[in-house]
Amino acid sequence: MKVAYIFATSRHTVSYVLGKMILPQLEENRHGVDVAGMFFFEDNNYVLVKGNPTGERLVQVAKAKGMLLMGCDQCCYEREIADKLFDGVPIGCFPDLYKALSGNMPDQIITL
Amino acid sequence: MTAACREACCSVTPRFTVTELFERGFRRNRAAPFALEGDAIADAEGNSARFSLALEADRIAEIRFRASSCTTLIAYSEALNELLAGFRPDMAAQFTPQDLVAALPGVHPLKQNRAVLAVAALRAALLTAATHHTARPRESGDPALDSPLARE
């Protein structure tokens, strides 16, 4: 099965669920499903800013597995981080997300 | 009587950032277009923009637009309005996409091509304005010749 994650809530979503569950499992190839992509809303976009330690690991995994990472464009502009993201990580809105996933369509989209 | 709040939360100074330009542009994007309207311009990604102009004393008073719901495109379009108000149309036509990218820092590198679309749509409206201006009959200074009836 192939999934995509949408990180929509803030609280522990990135630091705990992504950083301590999903990401280590992906690094150890034992997540159980393929991840087609991840999309980040609100403050969750800070994980995509250059220098973020969780983001560094996430970008490595994404490159190795061909996984899409995308930040919400309005969220990034609001936080003035759109030009500070890891190289090659795009921003966009729903049309960009759907277009980017269209070549690697997930079976399920999980909103966290 | 209490003094006006001077904190940042109550500042009325508009900032020239992508997110604030988008907020202002989002409202302008819904305003009715002016009569001097250019052709709609589209890009390969499915975005489009159509600009219209209000001129006062042969200078740009305001630029309005109808743009796709792309944050960067709307911010660039609003930036053109705020940067070029007061310019003569022939001077505004010299403004390039590179100028626009340089004027608005903070845009994601993969979205900076929206500046090309915004400037192309502006130039289409400027072309309409120039055509309209050129098509107007010149006034001779003679009231009899310059009356609408005399022109017909």
Cα B124 to chain centroid distance, Å, stands at 11
The number of folded domains in chain A is 1
The H or E element that residue B17 is part of is none
The number of folded domains in chain B is 1
In 3-state terms, what secondary structure has residue B115? Answer: helix
Could you tell me if B60 and B94 are in contact, meaning their C-beta atoms sit under 8 angstroms apart? no
Inter-chain touch B106–A78, beta carbons under 8 Å? no
Q: Which A residues 59-78 touch B at CB under 8 Å?
A: 73-74, 76-78
Could you tell me if A85 and A76 are in contact, meaning their C-beta atoms sit under 8 angstroms apart? yes
pLDDT in tens, B77-107: 999 999 999 999 999 999 999 999 999 999 9
| Among A82, A85, A93, beta carbon nearest to B18 | A82
Q: Is B47 on the interface with A (CB under 8 A)?
A: no
* Residue at B62 is within a domain: yes
d(CA A46, CA A69): 13
pLDDT in tens, A18-69: 999 999 999 999 999 999 999 999 999 999 999 999 999 999 999 999 999 9
What amino acid is encoded at B60 in this protein? I
Please classify residue A34 by burial: count the beta carbons closer than 10 Å to its beta carbon, then call 0-12 exposed, 13-18 middle and 19+ buried: middle
- CATH assignment at residue A31: 3.40.1260.10
d(CA B114, CA B122): 12
B29 lies in which domain range?
Answer: 14-134
Could you tell me if B152 and B134 are in contact, meaning their C-beta atoms sit under 8 angstroms apart? no
Task: For residue A102, give Cα distances in angstroms to A22, A112, B4.
Answer: 23, 21, 53
In 3-state terms, what secondary structure has residue A78? Answer: helix
Contacts of A73 in chain B (CB under 8 A): 71-72, 108, 111
Q: CA angle, A90 as apex, A89 and A93 as ends, to 5°? A: 145
Per DSSP, B136 falls in state S
Prediction ipTM score: 0.86
pLDDT for A10: 85
A95 lies in which domain range?
Answer: 2-111
Per-residue pLDDT of chain B (152 residues; tens, 9 = 90+): 556 665 556 665 678 999 999 999 999 998 999 999 999 999 999 999 999 999 999 999 999 999 999 999 999 999 999 999 999 999 999 999 999 999 999 999 999 999 999 999 999 999 999 998 655 444 445 444 444 433 33
d(CA A63, CA A57): 10
Q: Is B70 on the interface with A (CB under 8 A)?
A: yes
Inter-chain touch B105–A83, beta carbons under 8 Å? yes
* Residue at B144 is within a domain: no
In 3-state terms, what secondary structure has residue B78? Answer: helix
Q: Is A56 on the interface with B (CB under 8 A)?
A: no
Q: CA angle, B26 as apex, B20 and B29 as ends, to 5°? A: 135
Counted across chains A and B, CB pairs separated by less than 8 A come out at 41
* Residue at B140 is within a domain: no
Q: What is the pTM of this model?
A: 0.84
* Chain B residue at shortest CA distance from A88: B110
Q: CA nearest A49: which of A90, A92, A6, A86?
A: A86
Inter-chain touch A91–B110, beta carbons under 8 Å? yes
Beta strand B36-37 pairing with B48-56: antiparallel
| Among A77, A80, A90, beta carbon nearest to B110 | A90
- CATH assignment at residue B27: 3.90.1010.10
* Residue at B142 is within a domain: no
* Residue at B33 is within a domain: yes
Contacts of B113 (CB under 8 A, 6+ apart): B43
Distance in Å, alpha carbon of A77 to nearest chain B alpha carbon: 5
